[in-house]
Structure 1
Amino acid sequence: MNDTVSTLASLVAFPSICGTPNAPIMDWIEQRLAALGAHIHRVPGYDEGRSSLFASVGPDIEGGIVLSAHADVVPVAGQPWTSDPFTLTERDGRLYGRGSSDMKGFIACMLTAAARAATQPLTRPLHLAISHDEELGCVGVRSLLDFLRHEGMGAQGCVVGEPTGMEVAVAHKGKVALRLTCHGRAAHSANPLRGINAIVLAAGMVDALQALQKHIASTEPHDPRFDVPFSTVQTGLISGGTALNIVPDRCEIMAEIRLLPGISPQPYIAWLHEAGQRLTRDGSHGRIEIDITNAYPGLADDPGSEFLSLGLRHARSNTTRVIDFGTEAGLFRNELGLPCIICGPGDIGRAHKADEYVTRAELAEGDRFLAELVNGLCRPGYSAAGGSMPGM
């Protein structure tokens, strides 16, 4: 346990802010794993200076378990921290630091599990997948998944260690991020009727986004397991205009749709296109473009999954939950076909704000959970029922 806490202290000390180069923290993790004899791949990201890491301990065969985490954290600028966010600070059993819950606490548990696995007679491998820039919309894991798909990596399942308080989560919403660009025509404000005001068009599209939310709430099948039991629409950013005496010819809106698992965004995007056409009257009163800037899928639960049963057994739980925030689990399921659960120390309610923390008890439970998974990898074809997995 002290090893996990000291590992977390080292991880927190790296200011691995999303959207910035991440070589220092990935170098440190790679060195730790190399010392254990792990087989390691550094996978370059699509942006310069970023990389992900995939490491394996144990025999080079299929049927292992993937532990997945992201090493990036959100910024701290402007937040009223009571201690240095990049120095792990303990007060009353709470370990404060940026990323302690989301999700360097799980990475620390992963490295403890890898050290344990390196000393055990594994019959199947333990894999560690650590990505970058998850906080920008799960963008960094995509090159890693491309690499794993090319390599034909197969596994029994994947544990994504986002902070769930060590409860087993089986589903989450997906996300589509949209840019709505409203094009008008500039004119002198002394005679605004000679122009087309792009901000006025944008106001109409904000109304359309709100109307879409009402449409979704009243027509979409609800899933009562989620705090908000239907897909949601959010207008997050708006910018336009250059000077008060110029009729603005451009205004941009950034919006998102958080989708229930299994719900396609296409009908909703088509709904917005139709709203834009009504506002612009087929281009005679300006033009509105709608572009998808990022998207990741939701995770739909699989109640009959053998891997879910295994996860529940080691979590010592008989119940599952869903989460409203997105994770990389949907991508691991969709891109690699891996059964996925989400289970990790910490609480998402502490993340992304000042004085984020994880507790020693939560880390201890994470270590116990992963230790049992590692012990299971020492038994051929281990399943939740204690028998052999089909085809193994």
Structure 2
Amino acid sequence: MDTADQLYAAALTHLEALIGFDTTSRDSNLRLIEYVEAFLSEHGVASRRVANPEGTKANLYATVGPAVAGGVVLSGHTDVVPVDGQAWSSDPFVLTRRGDRLFGRGTCDMKGFLALALATVPGFARGESARPIHLAFSYDEEVGCLGAPSMIRELVSDLPAPLAVIVGEPTSMEVVSGHKGISTWRVTVTGHEAHSSLTHLGLSANMIAVELMERLRQIALELERHGDPASPYHPPHATLTIGLMQGGTAVNILARECTFTFDLRTPPGQNPDTIIVPFLDACETAHRIARERFPDAGVAVIRRSATPSFAPEPNGAAEMLARRLAGDNGPTRAAAYAAEAGQFQGAGFSTIICGPGSIEQAHQADEFIALSQMERGAAFMARLAEALA
């Protein structure tokens, strides 16, 4: 098998190529997928796409090594968040080294891990291991973990049962055993336009929306009050935030439409559907009252995404393996963000999160990954190859 130094050098080459593909979630990821397919083909590895309904994006998975049980899935998302409005010191889609850091959109979240996974391919493709690795690269993780479920369904039916799934979100190469789930909703309030001085002749969508948003604020406060101080999550309670709001066309017109989008992040054991019931009841009441005044008015609620939480699996195969490979004897760790780990766990896979880079550098201008993190990641992959030999 390749040494850690060889894996490190190969990973940096792949990372430079991966950063060069603008895979912002609103755009296609197919150029990156084509790059991975071509690389795998060079090493005699067949891969399979699982496309979105429009055919503009795709997941990709492949088995490298013998098609036997007991392998390890290396999973990561190919999409990145936008750079719009951010003050970057260099081109975000050109890998740039400054000192001991590599800058570029997606360096830590999470193309650094994808690059390390690709670096392992030649060794496994040469037949130097008794058990395989399985690559599982997804799309649209950053907009609600929308892409992975269709791929995971195929993994369940197609793969020889793997020992573990390692989701390579940035954890500074420390093992993270749980994450919160996230559910997102979009609310559209439709009113009836009129001159703002004649409120009796119209219905302001904005005014209705404000009342509904206040109901969400009250739920958020209630969740905070009932947080568990012993929880490993930070903050130690479910959180609810309104991220987007848009309504009205002019200050002197009763707004015809107002939309807002919110997310609810819940630790394992809390059901988002139950938490949101009082808000949905308020929406139903507001809808009925609006319709009584104007038949074209009302409130519509659409659920955009529902990503399950990821619960620690004490002494699980994935955690035991990852801790051994990472040399991690630390405490059980949990993340406030959501990831695809909960989706893999829900499909019956023993799962863990462990990858290079820090989440503190993600989603901001001058995102970077430290070279030392790539070195640690390469050492992790070298030990994985030995463990599967």
- What's the counterpart of residue 22 of structure 1? 29
Q: In the alignment, residue 212 of structure 2 is paired with which amino acid?
A: M
* TM-score scaled by length of structure 1: 0.91
Task: State the match for 1:165 in structure 2.
Answer: 172
1:69-148, aligned counterparts within 5 Å? Answer: 69-148=76-155
- Which of 189, 210, 217 aligns to 1:203? It is 210
Does the CA-based 8 Å contact 2:66-2:127 persist in structure 1? no
Rounded Cα–Cα distance in structure 2 between residues aligned with 1:267 and 1:279: 20
- C-alpha distance after superposition, 1:242-301 (max 9, x if no partner): 333332232111111011123111122211022335556755466333221111111011
Where does structure 2 lack aligned partners over 5 or more consecutive residues?
1-7
Aligned match for 1:178, one of 168, 177, 185: 185
Q: Residue in 2 aligned with 1:327?
A: 339
- Superimposed CA distance per residue, residues 130-174 of structure 1 (whole angstroms, 9 cap, x where no aligned partner): 111211111121221232234365211100001000000010011
Aligned residue number for residue 376 of structure 2: 365
Partner residue of 1:337?
348
- Larger deviation: 348-357 or 142-151? 142-151
Distance 1:178 1:371, change over 3 A: same
In the superposition, relative to structure 1, how do residues 13 and 226 fare at CA in structure 2: closer, same or farther (>3 Å)?
same
For 1:152 and 1:35, the matched residues in 2 are separated by 22
C-alpha contact 2:189 2:209 (8 A) present in aligned 1: yes
Distance in 1, matches of 2:151 and 2:248, equals 40
Shift, 1:339, TM fit: 0.8
The 1-side partners of 2:228 and 2:367 are apart by 35
Give the Cα separation in 2 of the matches to 1:44 and 1:37.
22
User: Following the alignment from structure 1 to structure 2, what is the Cα–Cα distance between the partners of residues 357 and 145?
Assistant: 29
The alignment status of 1:275 with 2:287, answered yes or no, reads: no
Q: Which residue of 2 aligns with 1:40?
A: 47
| CA apart distance, 1:355 | 0.9
- Matched to 1:166, the amino acid is M
* Aligned-partner residue type, residue 326 of structure 1: A
Q: Which amino acid aligns with 1:289?
A: A
Cα offset, 1:331, TM superposition: 0.7
Q: Secondary structure at the match of 1:169?
A: coil
8 Å Cα contact 1:37/1:57 also seen in 2: no
SS in 1 for 2:375: helix
Compute the TM-score of the two structures, normalised by the length of structure 2: 0.92
Aligned positions, number: 377
C-alpha separation in 1, matches of 2:234 and 2:120: 33
Mapped partners of 2:308, 2:54: distance in 1: 22
| Percentage identity across paired residues of the two chains | 35
Shift of 1:200: 0.6
Matched residue SS, 1:42: strand
Tell me if the contact between 2:70 and 2:160 (Cα under 8 Å) persists in the aligned partners: no
Call closer, same or farther: CA 1:141–1:235 in 2, change over 3 Å: same
Q: Does 2:195 correspond to 1:188? A: yes
Distance 2:321 2:159 in 1: 24
Q: How does 1:351-362 map to 2 (within 5 A)?
A: 351-362=362-373
Counterparts in 2 of 1:302-317, with a 5 A limit? 302-317=313-328
Q: Read off the aligned partner of 2:353 and give its amino acid letter.
A: I
Quote the Cα distance in structure 1 between the aligned partners of 2:85 and 2:357. Answer: 23
For residue 73 of structure 1, give the secondary structure of its aligned residue in structure 2. coil
CA contact (8 A) 2:172 2:358 kept: yes
CA, structure 1 residues 153+222, in 2 after alignment: closer, same or farther (shift >3 Å)? farther
Q: Cα offset for 1:222?
A: 5.2
Question: What SS does structure 1 have at the residue aligned with 2:279?
Answer: helix
Please give the alpha-carbon distance, in whole angstroms, between the structure 1 residues aligned to 2:320 and 2:256: 57
Q: Which amino acid aligns with 1:144?
A: M
How far apart in 1 are the matches of 2:177 and 2:267?
13
How much does 1:309 deviate?
1.0
Q: Shift of residue 43 of structure 1? A: 1.7
Contact 2:64 2:132 in 1 (8 A): yes
Shift of 1:119: 3.1
Once superposed, what is the RMSD of the aligned Cα atoms? 1.8
CA contact (8 A) 2:73 2:134 kept: yes
Q: Tell me if structure 1 keeps the 8 A contact 2:166–2:318.
A: no
Distance 1:305 1:213 in 2: 33
Question: 1:330 is aligned with what amino acid?
Answer: G
Q: What is residue 7 of structure 1 aligned with on the other side?
A: 14
Distance in 2, matches of 1:161 and 1:125, equals: 17
For residues 56 and 62 of structure 2, the distance between their equivalents in structure 1, rounded to whole angstroms, comes to 20
Matched residues in 1 for 2:257 and 2:160: separation?
Answer: 47
One-letter amino acid matched to 2:169: E
Q: CA offset at residue 48 of structure 1?
A: 2.6
Cα distance, 1:369 vs structure 2 = 0.7
Whether 1:289 and 2:300 are equivalent positions in the alignment is yes
